[in-house]
Structure 1
């Protein structure tokens, strides 16, 4: 247990090679070398230093060589005292002499240590995602002051131009979405009792995306809403509108509806057989091909435009 704790405090991780240790722990710690090997090594050492080993013509006895081969080498602590600069991580090893199994185990430990240092160097300094407090309530207050207060900053004409509908119609849509069984358009609180996005903010970003076809984050600074949330609002807005108004407005008129429209327009306009009024709108065509510019240009406009025609009833049912 002490070795496990020392390993964990040194390498900052648990020991993962205990199965290797169980294999090599009962084997001999020191393998005696052949006598010829030690004799040859001593001969090379004597020749390089130019010294004599003893008084018997420099030839050691067999017993002396065998005892030297079986003698214990210098311990790890003694070697460390001679070399104080040795790495402290090697304190878990108690010998400097390694058999093949111990060399394999030491290689795996060193490779693990190198991999841990590489991971720490590569990913240790990675910055975490920054949390921004965008204050949803502040965006709601700004929107109310601009369009929905008693004395708004912008007029009803500006609202009609920017939202493509009247203020009353927009508020009616917001009220219907708020009362929808889907709780997405309700003004809710999070776990910290902080107010989230209001129904006005969610409907405003959805209408603006449908009106201008701009990017989802174009109103981030104004409505305090991120790009992901804006796209989510648009998707839920379209689904709820189809569920609320689909059976009334998003369908083809039947025989009963046509009879009602003909009777209504005859009473209002005095024109029998009138299904609706033809409304035309000139939509500027910026990327009109050069070969077609003449036929799509009118003298009173001076630019290329496409005429969009729609039939609308007096009550805007169609």
Structure 2
């Protein structure tokens, strides 16, 4: 391997393995095993609101993410897990079926590539496809939350952070800057809320790696100062690649690489949606994306009044009305 590619591979490895030293697939140290035993003993007889789609045998990996996020402090991990259960209830994450989650990911223009050879769930995003106006419209979707929910349901035992490959070629910077100038505070607050919710519900996922392919203009300096704004919420690592070598270095199988970068991966997540729908709740069918994300008042009050109209507040069962031709969301089967 030529030296330039080898150096890029090392940067990728160092960034991804910076979280938990690359121990992503149920590999626990002796101390971690002891803490895990203490965790189970501490919650015996108490109530934990586990994600409905998580099998009992997969719970230890979820617990370990909370333990590692709290420096193996058992009491803090229990508090974090209970707080996450409250967040899931407030945002009705367990009521979302996989078709809704998949459609949200698709509309945000993320393409899931699967696990890379280092064990990290990887997504690609082209700056050509990025529409900040659309992201603002989809505030109720909470992009990172959908992305992480997608990962947790696909790889329940995986504990790795996300790797996001961003293709920076082919779009005028003016088209990116204008929406930010029009709604700077809205976008910043939206990201801050999304990141805080994601950190609470999906610990360690956003200790992530951003790979910028062919960054141009002011993309590099913006990307370099980005971590400063959200340093209290996430810890991510930037890797810059002046080519598209990252795809080949992260994946050995060309079926995982998008067609536009020389691979065979098509822009299609329908197979995943169909498989998960059959496993979770085949009766859901195709629930429309619009107006399905219900948020409790306890969560809604965190948002400015000017933005609260974007959300559907969950009404009591006795007052809920189902419009003809539009079924209310039904909790998927565990």
Smaller-chain TM-score bracket = under 0.3
Question: Which one has a bigger Cα radius of gyration?
Answer: 1
Question: What TM-score comes out, normalization by structure 2 length?
Answer: 0.19
More contact order relative to length (CA 8 Å, sep ≥ 6): 2
Question: What TM-score comes out, normalization by structure 1 length?
Answer: 0.20
